[in-house]
Structure 1
Amino acid sequence: MTCTKTPHPILSIENLGITYPGGIEAIRSTSIQFQPGEFNVLLGLSGAGKSSLLRALNHLVKPTSGNVISAEFGALNNQRILRQHRRKTAMVFQHHQLILRHSALKNVLMGRLGYYSFWRSLLPMPQDSLKIALNCLDRVGLADKALTRVDQLSGGQQQRVGIARALAQQPTIILADEPVASLDPSTSEKILTLLKKICAEDGITAVVSLHQLEYAKRFADRIIGLSDAQIVFDAAPQQLDNKQLALIYEQPASLTKDETSTDIERLSTQKNLPHKTATQLEIA
C-alpha cells in the first residue's frame, strides 16, 4: 500500500538501496517521497531497516545505490550540497548525543555550528545565535535549565535538550531515530507530543522511527511500515489493519484477529532481539 506521489515533495529517494559488509541487505531498492509539514513514522521490528532508511536521508548511512534528492538543494551527490542539506536537516537521537559536562545552553548552541566556518565556530557564538538557542530551550520548557550541566538533568529533560538543539538549526526537516526508546511510557508520550506540536507550529517535516505501534497510531500523519528491508505499508494510520500489521510484524496470516493483536502488541514493545540486526551491524 503506497501513498500517492505529489509534484512538490520536500525530500525524495529514488531506487535507494543499502547493503552492509558481508552482504547484509538493510534496504532493498526503494523509492518514496516525503511531503512538507508531514509527521512520518517509520514502523517495524528491530532490524527491519528503519534506522538505515532514516539515516540515509542525510547520508549518515551512505546508500549503496540510488539517490536522495532535496527539493531545495538537489541530489546529495557532492559535499557542498550535502553540507547545505544537513544544515537544514536536524537529527534527534535515541541516546541524545549530548556533551554531558556542558550546560544545556552550550549543547543547544551546537545546533548553530553549521552556519559558521570552522574558525568562526572557535569563538563565542554571536548574540543572534544565543537568542535562538535560548528561545529553543524555552519552547521545550527548559529555559530555567539553560546553565545546568546536562548530566544533572533527567533522561526526558536531556531528550528535550536534544530537540532544542535540533530546533536551533532552524530546520525544514527533523529526523528522529528511536527518540523515546530509552524513556519510560509517560515521558515518551510527553516527548512525542512536544515534538509533533513543534513540527506542526513550524511546518517542519518529521521522519521518526519507532517500535511502538500505539505511538505510531496516535502521532503519525503517515505510517511507513518496514519488514525484511523493504516498505510493506505506506498510508495514513486509519488504513493500518490487522493484515497490514501482520506484514510489518512478520506474523503468520493464519492467526486469528485476537492472536494477531496480542502478538503484535508484544513484538512492538520488544526492544532486544537475539539475532544481530542490520542496525547493530551499522553501529558496530
Structure 2
Amino acid sequence: MTPASYPDMMLRIEDMGVTYPGNVLALRPTTVDFNKGEFTVLLGLSGAGKSTLLRSLNHLVQPTAGKVVSAEFGDLDNRRTVRLHRSRTAMVFQHHQLIERHTALQNVLTGRLAYHSTWRSLLPMPRRDLELALHCLERVGLADKALARIDQLSGGQQQRVGIARALAQQPSMILADEPVASLDPATSEKVLGLLRDICQEDGITAVISLHQLEYAQRFADRIIGLANARIVFDAPPADLKQHHLNEIYHGNYETKPRTVPVPATKPVNPQPKKLEIAR
C-alpha cells in the first residue's frame, strides 16, 4: 500500500496488534484508517485498549504485529521514518508531562526541539521559535502566563500549556491520551472545546482517548469504541445506539431500564496459550 492510494488518509494501522510481556493481549490485530482533519475519539472503559492503540500510532508502544503507515512518510518500519513521523505528531498527556520549575513559555518551546540538533538545542532558541511559542500560548488564552512557573498554574491551565506545546511542534496530527481525566467537568469541556476548535481551524488530524461518553458525543466527528482489546464500533456519534453502548461498556452503562447486556464475543484466532486481557 502507498499513501497516494488513500488520498484522505493521514495514518493507517494495518493488521496491527500489541501483546505485552507475559502474554498479555492489549490490542487484537486490526486495520483502521485515520483521516485528514478528522477529530476522532477512542471510547471505552479502562483496560479496553484505548491507550495502547493511541500510543502505538507513533510507536510509543511498539506494535508486536502488523504495521503503522503514515501518509507523509510511508511505513514506520525504521528509526528514520519513526523519527520523522514523531516530529509531525504531537502528544498531549493526561498528567501534562510539563517541567514544573520552568515557565509556561519554556515548556512550550520544548515542542520545537525536534526541529533542532542536539547541540543546537543547548543554546537559546531562535527568535522565530520564541515568537511561535508566544503565539501558541495566546491561542490557548495564556499569553499573560508566559513567564509563570508551571507549578503556579491550575490543572486546566497546565493542560492548555500542554496543548500550546503540541501546537508549537506545528503538527499534522495530535494524539491526546485521556487529556481531561484529572480535570473537573467545566474545565474538561473548555479544554476539549479548545482542542477541537484549534484542530478544525488548522486542519489537524486528532485522535483522543476518552472514557466519558458525553464528551465523545459532543466533540467527536467519529467515535471508535473499544472493548476486550478490539474495536467494536466505528462511526459518527449519531450512529451510536444502545446495543453499541452495551458492547463498549459490557452492559455496565445503561441509559434505559431492563437493558440486556450483549454477551462478550469470543477472542479472534485464539492462541495456543490463553491470553490475558490488559486491565
Same fold (TM over 0.5): yes
Contact 2:25–2:277 (Cα < 8 Å) also in 1: no
Q: Name the amino acid aligned to 2:14.
A: E
Q: How many residues align?
A: 260
Q: Name the amino acid aligned to 2:16.
A: L
Q: Name the amino acid aligned to 1:212.
A: Q
Q: Distance in 2 between matches of 1:259 and 1:217?
A: 23
Q: Distance in 2 between matches of 1:112 and 1:55?
A: 21
Q: Structure 1 165/260 Cα, relative in aligned 2: closer, same or farther at 3 Å?
A: farther
Q: Structure 1 122/25 Cα, relative in aligned 2: closer, same or farther at 3 Å?
A: same
3-state SS, counterpart of residue 124 of structure 1: coil
3-state SS, counterpart of residue 133 of structure 1: helix
Contact 2:24–2:277 (Cα < 8 Å) also in 1: no
Deviations 1:150-195 (A, max 9, x none): 0000000000000000000000000000000000000000000000
Aligned pair 1:154/2:144, yes or no? no
Q: Distance in 1 between matches of 2:44 and 2:259?
A: 15
Aligned pair 1:257/2:277, yes or no? no
Contact 1:156–1:183 (Cα < 8 Å) also in 2: yes
Contact 2:229–2:277 (Cα < 8 Å) also in 1: no
Sequence identity (%)? 68
Deviation at 1:258, TM superposition (A): 2.9
Deviation at 1:72, TM superposition (A): 0.5
* Higher-helix-fraction structure: 1
Q: How does 1:7-156 map to 2 (within 5 A)?
A: 7-156=7-156
3-state SS, counterpart of residue 257 of structure 1: coil
3-state SS, counterpart of residue 163 of structure 2: helix
Partner in structure 1 of residue 170 of structure 2: 170
Deviation at 1:8, TM superposition (A): 2.9
Partner in structure 2 of residue 245 of structure 1: 245
Deviations 1:57-93 (A, max 9, x none): 0000000011000000011111111111001000000
Q: Distance in 2 between matches of 1:277 and 1:220?
A: 27
Q: Structure 1 130/258 Cα, relative in aligned 2: closer, same or farther at 3 Å?
A: same
Contact 1:93–1:176 (Cα < 8 Å) also in 2: yes
Aligned pair 1:211/2:218, yes or no? no
Q: Structure 1 260/183 Cα, relative in aligned 2: closer, same or farther at 3 Å?
A: farther
Q: Distance in 1 between matches of 2:259 and 2:130?
A: 51
Q: Distance in 1 between matches of 2:136 and 2:20?
A: 37
Q: Distance in 1 between matches of 2:117 and 2:6?
A: 36
Contact 1:12–1:32 (Cα < 8 Å) also in 2: yes
3-state SS, counterpart of residue 201 of structure 1: helix
Q: Distance in 1 between matches of 2:49 and 2:8?
A: 26
3-state SS, counterpart of residue 68 of structure 2: strand
Partner in structure 2 of residue 282 of structure 1: none
Deviation at 1:259, TM superposition (A): 4.7
Deviations 1:207-257 (A, max 9, x none): 00001000000000000000000000000000000011101001189x893
Partner in structure 2 of residue 220 of structure 1: 220
Q: Structure 1 221/146 Cα, relative in aligned 2: closer, same or farther at 3 Å?
A: same
Q: Structure 1 6/75 Cα, relative in aligned 2: closer, same or farther at 3 Å?
A: closer
Contact 1:46–1:277 (Cα < 8 Å) also in 2: no
Q: Name the amino acid aligned to 1:189.
A: E
Task: Give the alignment's TM-score, normalised by structure 2.
Answer: 0.90
Q: Distance in 2 between matches of 1:260 and 1:155?
A: 38
Structure 2, unmatched stretches of 5+, are: 261-275
Q: Distance in 1 between matches of 2:105 and 2:259?
A: 46
Q: Structure 1 260/114 Cα, relative in aligned 2: closer, same or farther at 3 Å?
A: farther
Q: Name the amino acid aligned to 1:257.
A: K
Q: Distance in 2 between matches of 1:102 and 1:129?
A: 17
